[in-house]
Amino acid sequence: MTALLDVEGLTAGYGAAPVLHEVSLTVQPGQIVAVLGANGAGKSTLLRTLSGLLPAQQGRILFDGKDLSGIKVERMVHHGIAHVPEGRGVVTELTVDENLRLGGLWRKPQPPLEPIYELFPRLAERKSHLGHQLSGGERQMLALGRALVAQPRLLLLDEPSLGLAPKITAHIMALLRDLRDRTGLAVLLVEQNVRSALSIADEGVVLSLGRIVTRHDAATLVDDADLRHAYLGF
């Protein structure tokens, strides 16, 4: 089976000093891959490079067999890649409904928003609220819902648990797994919250100082005490 996302030898960063060094990884269709690692390991940089916000200095990004280098950021959604950035990226000056519509504007005809409102009933209740009136959990639901409007094949999710109560994090994780099971959505999940990420991931990739230091089944990473101590610190 060809991988949905196939990254080879990716080097990227800001200015002369690269943050990522020859990172290679694959994501299969319907697979949830967790990218773990300490602050500053390069996790967000990896996602920003994959979605084109940051140019790759070296290496190759294949999506569904197509080379994505040189493709504009605004074209990525057309290929089926949705990136929910860290801090969630809700446009706080727009309403919930406008934020959601924004997610599907590029599609002709525009996709209906009802499925998203069914998935997140809380958002339906707050349709006409402005983004800055939402709680952290609601913003995460909105950012996630907005990414899903476009029916992507790969979701790049940056720290969805950041600043959220454990209960809300668990809800969002369960929802991701459910989505994957129902739609075959693949997820590259960047998380500091190792336990909740591995609770739904198929595979875990550990990034340290911009290099991939290990890659294992999520179950192995959780169960093997030596691996856990060495790479995840718990």
Partner 1 sequence: MDRFLFLTFDGLSRGAVYAAFALALVLIWRATRIVNFAQGAMAVATAYVAYSVADATGSYWLGFIVALVAGLLLGAGVERVVMRFVDHSSPLNGVVVALGLVLIIQGVLGMIYGNEFRPATAPFSRDAFDIGGVALLSRYDLFVFAAVGAVVVLLTLLFTRTSTGLRMRAAAFAPDVSRLLGVPVGGMLTLGWALAAAVGSLAGMLVLPTELGLHPTAMDIVFISAFTAAVVGGLDSPIGSVLGGLMVGLLLSYISGYLGATVAPMAVLALLVVVLLSRPDGLFARSKARTA
Give the residues lining the site for partner 1 (CB under 8 A).
Answer: 51, 53, 72-78, 82-83, 85, 89, 91-94, 98, 101-103, 105-106, 110, 146, 150
**Smallest separation (angstroms) from partner 1 to the CB of 7:** 18
Q: Rounded to whole angstroms, what are the CA distances from 229 to 36, 204, 221, 224, 234? A: 14, 15, 10, 9, 6
Return the closest-CA partner of residue 60 out of 96, 12, 100. Answer: 12
Bond preceding residue 18 cis, omega within 30 of 0: no
**Smallest separation (angstroms) from partner 1 to the CB of 206:** 26
**Smallest separation (angstroms) from partner 1 to the CB of 91:** 5
Pick 111 or 204: Cβ nearer partner 1: 111
Pick 49 or 51: Cβ nearer partner 1: 51
**Smallest separation (angstroms) from partner 1 to the CB of 128:** 13
Pick 47 or 164: Cβ nearer partner 1: 47
* Residue 217 contacts residue 34 (beta carbons within 8 Å): no
Pick 83 or 153: Cβ nearer partner 1: 83
